[in-house]
Amino acid sequence: MPLHPQAQAVADFYKAMRTTPFEELQPTEARALYNAGQIPSTEVVHEIRDVQAGSIPCRLYRPSAQTDLGLLVFFHGGGWVIGDLNSHDGVCRSLANKSGHAVLAVDYRLAPEHKFPAAFDDCAEALKWAYDNALALGIDNTRMAVGGDSAGGNLAAAVALAEVVPLKFQMLIYPAVDMSMESPSINENANAPILTKSVMAWFVNHYMNSDSDRTNINASPMLASD
């Protein structure tokens, strides 16, 4: 089945930009390559400010002056190795404006300098902080959600399962949910555009601290039982 034209355009862009496959790069090199392809957003949001969620740097996006906004706590993608507040700034601006709710982007620690469960711990801490500081953030903590793309979707699903705070929903965008990497889909799409199985393995191996961590539900939320 051919890709949608918009998806194909993205695949072609990354193919042209990545002259060296990620799995042949050091993490610092991969971050530099990834950051070089970022285009700053010019979308206007009512308020954008950096905040400190305990020990975790975050960025708050508020689409209006209302003091009882719902809140999406957003965890960026990037295989737990790349990405930051700036890489997903445009996404968060758009989410805030289109949803009418506040967005709190979380700058969790990256692997391999900080392996599992560092990213999970940071995301859980930031989520709990947001819940406890609702008044200062101008949000209604009875209307909170978590979300993210790829590795961010993994982290959103994991903290939701951990029941850190009461949540209304999860927004999981192509989440990575099983660190065993043995599902039929990953083998069927082993040579897919952008994220091949070998690239996925590069990310996962940098994130995982040990083989036993791969079955921890905070790393592989798909393995959680009812």
State pLDDT tens for residues 85-121. Answer: 999 999 999 999 999 999 999 999 999 999 999 999 9
Give dist(CA 159, CA 83) in Å, integer: 19
Say if residue 193's pLDDT is above 90. Answer: no
Q: Give, for 61, the enclosing helix (H) or strand (E).
A: strand 56-62
Say if residue 2's pLDDT is above 80. Answer: no
Give dist(CA 59, CA 220) in Å, integer: 27
Report the helix count and the strand count for the chain, using DSSP H and E. Answer: 8, 6
Domains along the sequence of the chain with CATH: 14-214 (3.40.50.1820)
With the C-alpha atoms ordered 16, 22, 24, 28, is the resulting torsion angle positive or negative? positive
Say if residue 128's pLDDT is above 80. Answer: yes
CB 112 within 8 A of CB 27: yes
Query: Which backbone phi and psi does 86 adopt, to 5 degrees?
Result: -75, -35
Tokens of 202: 């590069």
Which position has the token pair 């991969």?
Answer: 30
Residue 189 confidence (pLDDT): 87
Residue 18 confidence (pLDDT): 67
State the chain's maximal CA–CA distance in angstroms: 49
What letter would DSSP give residue 57? E
- State mean pLDDT over 30-59: 95
With the C-alpha atoms ordered 75, 78, 83, 87, is the resulting torsion angle positive or negative? negative
Q: Give, for 207, the enclosing helix (H) or strand (E).
A: helix 197-207
Tokens of 37: 């392809």
Helix 151-161 vs helix 118-132: crossing angle, to nearest 10: 60
Say if residue 225's pLDDT is above 90. Answer: no
Q: Residue 56 pairs with which residues in a beta bridge?
A: 53
- Percent of the chain scoring above 90 in pLDDT: 80
Residue 1 confidence (pLDDT): 66
Expressed in angstroms, the distance from the first to the final Cα of the chain is 35
Mean of per-residue pLDDT scores for the chain: 94
